[in-house]
Amino acid sequence: DDKQTYKDSQKFSDHMQNIDAVSDFALEKSIKEQREYLPVFAVRQSMLNVIRDNNVVIIVGETGSGKTTQLTQYLYESGYGDHGTIGCTQPRRVAAMSVAARVAEEMGVPLGNECGYAIRFEDKTSDKTVIKYMTDGILLRECLSDPDLDHYSVIIMDEAHERSVNTDVLFGLLREVVARRSDLKLIVTSATMDAEKFADFFGGNTPVFRIPGRTFKVDTFHRNAPVEDYVDEAIKQAIQIHLGAVDGDILIFMPGQEDIEVTSALITEKLNGLDSAPPLAVLPIYSQLPSEKQSKIFQRAPGGIRKCIVATNIAETSLTVDGIFFVIDPGFCKMKVFNSKVGMDALQVYPISQASANQRSGRAGRTGPGQCFRLYTTRQFKDEMLVTTVPEIQRTNLANVVLLLKSLQVDDLLKFHFMDPPPQENMMNSMYTLWTLGALDNAGNLTDMGRQMADFPLDPSLSKMLIVAAEMGCSEEILSIVSMLSVPSIFIRPKGREEEADSRKEKFQVSESDHLSLLNVYNEWKKKKYSSRWCKDNFIQAKAMTRAREVRGQLQEIMESNKLALVSSGTDWDIVRKCICSAYFPNATRLKGIGEYVSLRTGIPCFLHPTSSLFGMGYTPDYVVYHELIMTTKEYMQCVTAVEGVWLAELGPMFYSLKEQALTFNERMRETVRANESMEDQLRNSEASKAQMSTQ
């Protein structure tokens, strides 16, 4: 059966063998016993009563109390699924998939039947689906075609404390929807105590239901002095715990995939070097890890050996693993923050907040008294960490959100009901981005281009590229490129065979463009009838390619329903480069030295990434555009295409010739903002004076 083939195919994978050692051991308790042991089970009926009597309910409970997996099932068992879907949103894709799989298992149904999930480009639901887990982004897009969300009987906004941009926008939209639909139940769940704020947002009478927790004492240890390298320290700490006498699994938090991989590999390596060290199952989890490997963290290691989970923020509140007694917390996480220096969002490592630190230590006290090792000092905790994390909406570019709200006819964004409004500067920046792409007109209204762009579940520049491609006559090519950009890296470099892999990769590379190199791979694969054998021979990730093909199919459907022509430019790849330029012109850079460019817009130096086809080829075009910037020791351009200077002037006049036009736009927007503010002030004053009059 499926599971067996999966296990067999695992044997091929040559890295992370320790993951494979953890297999599906029979669980100690039956599913029923596990469900009834959860804290939420004790309050099942009183919680359902509160939901019955109110349209909006805030539910607060410790991580692991059973909110995400049980609430949907309780509602289903009480008949809420009879007249509509029970939807549950998650800020993270991994959580949506993992939790849906768990709930399907608890219900004893195949995933995708009664219980399913939907994430971008992947819909695992069917006509039968009553419980639907999805990312908040999916529900937000559903609002576009169904503003009243009529086919839902219940919407659970889970993990609301995460305050993702999409959740925050949904808050504003759903507040209106519940006012219009008395038959809809809205449940907002949170692991932290900001519940009152949520309740206030939905109106003073919104009840807050608290699930009594079952938590044990956690001893928290700080460092006496700041540590130099948190990866090293975490490894040492983990080994020390493992060699100690006390049983219990270990959870290490790391900011991102690279740190997780290094940490996992080094812990295993160091233990192998010790003669009498007991075995340890080191299990990584991060969003790009294949989902079968992700689920390993929940399973028991063979022979009940100790597990050491190395996780991103996902293990902070989204996923709960039982049996953790030790937490190692370096105090960092990766966050997307608008970086004014480079003029775009950047994913960077930042100190976590005090609230996050406390959530993390809480993970050690779920099954019994635990210990948390913080790799920072008490002083760092107090002085360098914010009390709570700044909501994403206040720190990122909102171009996508603006596009979506404008399509929902929310014309005056400054009047939209945000729980915490984004800074005006953010809003303006985002509107400016959209204006440069032609999605907004000079008055800030949605253009035809903008309306079409909103139909694609993509970043605005990629949507724009697809639309322009239809006019330019290269949409078949751009469809493949955009799809390839939507999946994780396709090239594999197995240990010991790096040179072979590199020389295969070189054969696909197009010297003037990484985008065209991706197109090349896709076309070759298509010529070979989408063969996975071919992928294997060429050191290409077959799964990622299959995914790209699925994404391509979905994007093609959107093109067709928008009557955008599907045309191929044949062998003329200059047109494709020009089309790429039409979307990426804000990311244009000019040659400065070998491998070094300088941004035309911000003036900062940008470097070719060593993985780029343009790197070290001796071919140095005067201008290139890039897909994104990666910030490590330097600003590296990821996925680069050579463009002509004249294209930039033609396609991005607001940047590269008529600078005044840009200023005019910004100035105009500022005036609008000022006008609105003074209007609001006047209104407020007149309302205040009215109120005064009525009390007199």
Question: Where do contacts with ligand ADP occur on this chain (CB under 6 A)?
Answer: 38, 61, 63-70, 98-99, 101-102, 295, 298, 320-322
CB of 200 vs ligand ADP, minimal distance in Å: 23
* Displacement of CA 184 from its chain's centroid (Å): 27
Question: Which DSSP letter does residue 296 get?
Answer: G
Q: Which is nearer to ligand ADP, 41 or 615 (CB)?
A: 41
Using the minimum distance from each CB to ligand ADP, give the nearer residue, 207 or 213. 213
Nearest 5°: the CA angle 195, 198, 200 is 110
Closer residue to Mg ion (CB): 67 or 307: 67
298 makes contact, choosing from Mg ion, ligand ADP, none, with CB < 5 to 8 Å by partner type, with ligand ADP
Of 68 and 429, CB closest to Mg ion: 68
Across the beta sheet with 131-135, the strand order is 122-124, 115-119, 131-135, 85-90, 152-157, 185-190, 56-60, 208-210
313 touches Mg ion by CB under 5 A:
no
Q: Alpha-carbon distance 397 to 544, whole Å?
A: 28
Give the nearest distance from C-beta 66 to ligand ADP in angstroms: 4
Residue (37 or 619) nearer to ligand ADP, CB:
37
Residue 689: both structure tokens together: 């004076």
Q: H or E stretch including 642?
A: strand 635-643
Kindly state whether residue 90 participates in binding Mg ion, applying the rule CB under 5 A. Answer: no
Tokens of residue 226, six digits: 């700041």
CA-to-CA distance for 471 and 490, rounded, in angstroms? 29
Residue 98 interacts with, from Mg ion, ligand ADP, none (CB under 5-8 Å by kind): ligand ADP
- Which of 18, 65, 68, 90 contacts Mg ion by CB under 5 A? 68
Min. distance of Cβ 79 from ligand ADP in angstroms? 21
Output the smallest distance, CB 347 to Mg ion, in A.
24
Minimum CB separation of residue 322 from ligand ADP in Å reads 5
Pick the closer one to ligand ADP by CB: 193 or 675.
193
Q: How far is CA 111 from the centre of its chain?
A: 22
Nearer to Mg ion, 186 or 516 (CB): 186
Residue 52 structure tokens = 């019955």
Single-letter amino acid code for the residue at 196: E
Interface region with Mg ion, contact rule CB under 5 A, candidates 63-71, 217-225, 504-512, 571-579 = 63-71
> What would the DSSP string read from start to end of 339-391?
ETTTTEEEEEEEE--HHHHHHHHHGGGSSSSEEEEESS-HHHHHHHS-SSPPP
Kind and range of the H or E element at 469?
helix 460-472
Per CB under 5 A, the segment of 16-24, 68-76, 144-152, 268-276 that binds Mg ion is 68-76
Interaction partner, residue 166 (ligand ADP, Mg ion, none; CB < 5-8 Å by kind): none
Q: For residues 65 and 513, which CB has a smaller minimum distance to ligand ADP in the complex?
A: 65
**What binding mask, one character per residue, do residues 185-204 give for Mg ion by CB under 5 A, x or -?**
--------------------
Residues 353/385, Cβ–Cβ less than 8 Å = yes
Instruction: From the list Mg ion, ligand ADP, none, pick the one residue 38 interacts with, judged by a Cβ distance below 5 to 8 Å according to partner type.
Output: ligand ADP
Tell whether residue 89 is a contact of Mg ion (CB under 5 A): no
Please tell me whether residue 70 binds Mg ion under the rule CB under 5 A: no
Q: How far is the CB of 335 from ligand ADP (least distance, A)?
A: 22
Q: How far is the CB of 19 from ligand ADP (least distance, A)?
A: 15
- 101/648 with CB nearer ligand ADP: 101
Piece of the chain touching Mg ion by CB under 5 A; list 54-62, 66-74, 435-443, 585-593: 66-74
Nearer to ligand ADP, 73 or 589 (CB): 73
Span interacting with Mg ion, options 67-75, 207-215, 346-354, 376-384, rule CB under 5 A: 67-75
| 533/516 Cα distance (integer angstroms) | 23
Of residues 89 and 569, the one with the C-beta less far from Mg ion: 89
For the beta carbon of residue 243, count every other beta carbon within 10 angstroms. Answer: 13
Residues 417-436 within binding reach of Mg ion (CB under 5 A)? none
Whats the size of the chain, residue-wise?
Answer: 696
In the complex, least distance from residue 97 CB atom to Mg ion, rounded to whole angstroms: 14
- Residues 491-509 as b or e (16 or more Cβ within 10 Å = b): bbeeeeeeeebeebbeebb
Three state DSSP letters for 9-66? HHCCCCCCHHHHHCCCCCCCCCHHHHHHHCHHHHCHHHHHHHHHHCCEEEEECCCCCC
The entry of Mg ion, ligand ADP, none that residue 65 binds, CB within 5 to 8 Å by partner kind: ligand ADP
Q: Which does 61 bind (CB under 5 to 8 A by kind): ligand ADP, Mg ion, none?
A: ligand ADP
Please tell me the distance from the alpha carbon of residue 432 to that of residue 437, in angstroms, as a whole number.
Answer: 9
486 binds Mg ion (CB under 5 A): no
DSSP string covering 502-538 = HHHHHHH-BTTBHHHHHHHHHHHHHHTTT-HHHHHHT
- Judged by CB under 5 A, how many residues of this single chain contact Mg ion? 2
Binding at 621: pick from Mg ion, ligand ADP, none (beta carbon under 5-8 Å per type):
none
Give the torsion through C-alpha atoms of 62, 139, 81, 46, to 10 deg: 30
400 binds Mg ion (CB under 5 A): no
Both tokens of 571, joined, read: 């062998």
Q: 102 touches which of ligand ADP, Mg ion, none (CB within 5 to 8 A by kind)?
A: ligand ADP
| CA dihedral for 624, 395, 328, 89, sign (positive or negative) | negative
Name which of Mg ion, ligand ADP, none residue 137 binds, using a CB cut-off of 5 to 8 Å depending on partner kind.
Answer: none
Local structure of 403: helix, strand or coil: helix
Least Å from the CB of residue 70 to Mg ion: 10
Residue 397 binds which entry of ligand ADP, Mg ion, none, CB below 5-8 Å type-dependent: none
The residue ranges that bind Mg ion (CB under 5 A) are 67-68
